[in-house]
């Protein structure tokens, strides 16, 4: 039940219902050693349909989080045996950033300084005991909304709007780091680029809208076939793929399988349309990611010259 009074508008009610519905999928960890306080908090959270985990101290909290990566939020009391709330925040922030895990620190009324310290060590928000159920709900919802906003922002910045694949920016801002650490760990790295053959003909024959639909269909198959890899759209009808820690022969045979299946896939534009694509693939390590991309691009050019619908290595 939710108690609905006339102070709320209808759109408020819809918002509350939506929140309740979304909360069912949100997992929260409460870290609190005082039994009655734990009961008070978890009772409220369960009432709001949140999925609640309980820990009596910091060590237990770290263990639970390790086993439950789906947890989005941690409510951490300050006074706890073994590891206090502040130490827990510090330990959590070594692994989880503010954009992915919200931490709300809980302190008592006579410990105003603790609130500032919580924030300083990386908590997203603080609650001061005693707090009302309403304040608890407001803080939780506010922080969940901020997490969602961060996810939306990341998608806008790092994903291509048409295909939802990663974009160039993601490649050079985020994958570059991964590239460097994989290299120093001695891992193999395979870089592939793909360009759809005679794509201009699709646009010319069926219109730009149909061209877009083809790009979306190709991208869907692409990310579906390489869920464990980084797939991105370089621009236009050109895509890229990075496989970390995979032997080159295996990487190559997966790409070959994809080339073969793409060719055989009927893309539905109201009528079936078939396309092929050309690929350049390399595992020769370079100083920078950009150079590896350029090397793959040169091989792609060769594949085009040699008649398209093939892979050059």
| C-alpha dihedral (103, 45, 3, 20), degrees to nearest 10 | 70
Asked if 297 is part of the footprint of ligand GH3 (rule: CB under 6 A), the reply reads no
DSSP 3-state of 167: coil
Q: Tell me how far CA of residue 272 lies from CA of 202, 265, 269, 290, 308, in angstroms.
A: 12, 9, 6, 37, 21
- Residue from the set 54, 212, 256, 309 that interacts with ligand GH3 by CB under 6 A: 212
Do 136 and 23 form a contact (C-beta atoms < 8 A)?
no
Does position 211 bind ligand GH3 by CB under 6 A? yes
CB of 101 to ligand GH3, least distance (A): 36
Q: Which x/- pattern, by CB under 6 A, does the window 157-196 give for ligand GH3?
A: -----x--------------------------------xx
Task: Give the CA angle between residues 230, 233, 234 to the nearest 5°.
Answer: 110
By CB under 5 A, tell whether 199 contacts Mg ion. yes
With binding defined as CB under 6 A, does residue 293 bind ligand GH3?
Answer: no
Residues acting as catalytic residues:
237
Query: Does 198 participate in binding ligand GH3 (rule CB under 6 A)?
Result: yes
Of 86, 64, 82, the closest CA to residue 73 belongs to: 64
If the CB atoms of residues 229 and 303 are measured against Mg ion, the closer one turns out to be: 303
Of 132-140, 153-161, 209-217, 248-256, which part binds ligand GH3 (CB under 6 A)? Answer: 209-217
Q: Which two tokens stand for residue 62?
A: 């770290």
Outline where 84-207 has alpha helix (H). 85-95, 112-120, 133-158, 168-170, 176-184, 199-206
Distances (CA, A) of 70 to 67, 81, 102: 9, 26, 12
Residue 129 binding result from Mg ion, ligand GH3, none, given CB thresholds of 5 to 8 Å by partner type:
none
Residue 106-125 contact track with ligand GH3, rule CB under 6 A, x = bound: --------------------
How many residues bind to ligand GH3 according to rule CB under 6 A? 16
Nearest-angstrom CA–CA distance, 66 and 129: 28
- Answer with the entry of ligand GH3, Mg ion, none that 203 interacts with (C-beta below 5 to 8 A by kind): ligand GH3
Shortest distance (Å) from residue 283 CB to ligand GH3? 24
Query: Residue 151: helix, strand or coil by DSSP?
Result: helix
50 close to 23: Cβ distance less than 8 angstroms: yes
Give the residue nearest to ligand GH3 (CB).
211
Kindly state whether residue 304 participates in binding ligand GH3, applying the rule CB under 6 A.
yes
The SS3 assignment for 262 reads helix
Choices 52-60, 64-72, 173-181, 205-213; region in contact with ligand GH3 by CB under 6 A:
205-213
Q: Which stretch binds Mg ion (CB under 5 A): 26-34, 68-76, 197-205, 211-219?
A: 197-205
CB 46 within 8 A of CB 52: yes
Q: In terms of CB distance, is 180 or 208 closer to ligand GH3?
A: 208
Q: Which residues pair with 107 in a beta bridge?
A: 128
Stretch that binds Mg ion, among 4-12, 125-133, 196-204, 213-221 (CB under 5 A): 196-204
β 189-196/277-282 pair status: antiparallel
Residues interacting with ligand GH3, by CB under 6 A?
162, 195-200, 203, 208, 211-212, 215, 236-237, 304, 308
């Amino acid at each position: 039940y939710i108690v609905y009074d006339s102070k709320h508008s209808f759109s408020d009610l819809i918002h509350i219902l939506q929140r309740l519905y979304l909360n069912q999928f949100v997992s929260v960890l409460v870290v609190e050693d005082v039994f009655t306080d734990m009961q008070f908090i978890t009772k409220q959270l369960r009432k709001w349909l949140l999925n609640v985990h309980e820990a009596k101290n910091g060590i237990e909290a770290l263990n639970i989080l390790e086993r439950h990566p789906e947890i989005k939020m941690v409510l951490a009391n300050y006074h706890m045996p073994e590891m206090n709330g502040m130490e827990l925040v510090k330990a959590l922030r070594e692994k989880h950033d503010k954009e992915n895990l919200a931490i709300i620190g809980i302190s008592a009324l006579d410990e105003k300084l603790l609130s500032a310290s919580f924030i300083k060590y990386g908590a997203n928000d603080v609650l001061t005991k005693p707090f009302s159920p309403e304040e608890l709900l407001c803080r939780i919802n506010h922080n969940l909304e901020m997490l969602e906003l961060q996810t939306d922002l990341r998608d806008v910045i790092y994903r291509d709007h048409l295909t939802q694949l990663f974009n160039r920016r993601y490649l050079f801002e985020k994958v570059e780091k991964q590239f460097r650490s994989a290299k120093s760990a001695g891992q193999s790295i395979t870089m592939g680029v793909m360009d759809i053959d005679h794509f201009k003909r699709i646009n010319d024959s069926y219109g730009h809208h149909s061209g877009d639909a083809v790009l979306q269909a190709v991208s869907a198959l692409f990310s579906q076939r390489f869920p464990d890899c980084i797939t991105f759209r370089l621009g236009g009808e050109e895509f890229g793929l990075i496989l970390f820690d995979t032997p080159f022969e295996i990487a190559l045979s997966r790409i070959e399988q994809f080339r073969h299946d793409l060719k055989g896939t009927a893309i539905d534009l109201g009528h079936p349309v078939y396309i092929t694509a050309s690929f350049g693939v390399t595992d020769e390590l370079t100083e920078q990611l950009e150079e590896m991309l350029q090397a793959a691009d040169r091989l792609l050019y060769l594949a085009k010259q040699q008649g398209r619908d093939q892979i050059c290595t």
